[in-house]
Structure formats: C-alpha cells, structure tokens
Amino acid sequence: MRAIIETMYSRNRGLGGFDETLPSSALLAFVARKLAWRANALRRGYVNAYIAPGVSLQGKRFLSVGEAVSIGQGVQIMAVSHEGIHLGDRVTLDTGAILRASGGVRRLGAGITIGRRAAVGARNFIHGGGGVTIEEDVLLGPGVQIFSENHNFENPELPVIEQGEQPGPVLIGRGSWLGAGAIVVAGVTIGEGVVVAAGSVVTADVAPHTVVAGSPARVVRNIETSEARG
C-alpha cells in the first residue's frame, strides 16, 4: 500500500517520494487530508486541484488553475485584474499566502503568473499591480513579499493616497530560491538560479546564478554552472 501511495504522489507532484522514516499513521493522515482537499476543490469547480478549507477565492473567472495545484489553509487569492492570476501545474501555495492581482478597483493591476512546480511559502504576499511573473521551480520561503508597483509621492500638495501608482513588473527566474522574509520591490528582475538570503531586500536586478544578501541585496558569490566549469 505504501509503495502505491508513494508512486501516485511522485507522479502527481513530479518530485521524489516520502521519507523512509515517515510513520504509516502520518502517511495515512496525509492521504486523508489530501483527499478532503480534493473533494473541496471539486465542490468549488476545480477538478484537478487540492484546496484546503478556509481558502478565499475572489474573481474566479480571472483565475486559471493547472493540474495538481495545492492551495493551503487560509490562502487568499484576489484575481480580478487585466491578465488575471495563472497557477501552473503542480504549484503549491502554503498556509496563509496572499496573492493580490490588483491594489483595488480604482485601477486594475496587471496580474500574476506562477510557473510549473513553483512553491509559494507560508504567509507570502505577492502584489501583481504592475505584473509579477514567477517562473517554474521557484522556491519562496516563509514570509516572502513581492511588490510590483510604487506609490507616487512627488506632489507635496496632495496626500500620497491621491497621487496614484507607478507599475514596475517583477520577474523571478526559473529555479531561484528566495529565503524567509526576503522582499522584492517593483521593477526588479531576478535571473535564473539565484539564491536570495533570508531577510534580504532586493532593489535592483540580479544576474543569473548568483547569491545575494543584505539590504539592499548585494552579490556575495557566484554559483558555478557546468558550462562555466567547462
């Protein structure tokens, strides 16, 4: 039975199987929870997803959900925007994550696209006002925040709330990892295979295959690729 469950899980997630020391009781509890999430997703009209209780979905016609997407408890998705929110196959949204495609109804945002098998961590906040693209196999640690627009503030005669916003699209490259509490501000492109240290604030573009840390984030070392080793 365990082998069958493990094979099904590996095929479904596109990753390896379970830890060999995982007790059978914990494995069965995991399966029961996933089955309950699958039933909940079916009730909400998503035939190939896993949706926990307590998930808030606003603007469902602006939301595209791929195969085997898993949406954890307390997740909030506000999808109304020009391009909507697109969750690729096998994307996971952990507990309490917030995806907000627009800042409000006064001006619709661009939207959010999350690529295949990307993992959005617990309590992440992703604002798609200026457009956010997260490519495949990206890993976002707990508490990551991504912003894609800034408030205008140059007019001293007006409150900032009345001055509107300036969009700045954000791209997170394939296979990157953003550590816990990292912040990405509007207009930033993070290249493929980048590691952002926990708590860093990324204010400028990051070259592929580098490790950055600090506030503002600076390159601390390169990650040598097989081509570079040549």
Active site residues per annotation: 151
Residue with tokens 């914990």: 26
Q: What b-and-e string marks burial along 19-50, b requiring 16 or more CB atoms within 10 Å of the CB?
A: eeeeeeeebeeeeeeeeebbebbeeeebeebb
Q: What is the rounded end-to-end Cα distance, in angstroms, of the chain?
A: 45
Of all helices (H) and strands (E), which one includes residue 200? none
CA distance 77 to 195: 26
Backbone angles phi, psi at 125, to 5 degrees: -130, 120
Of all helices (H) and strands (E), which one includes residue 126? strand 125-127
CA distance 71 to 65: 10
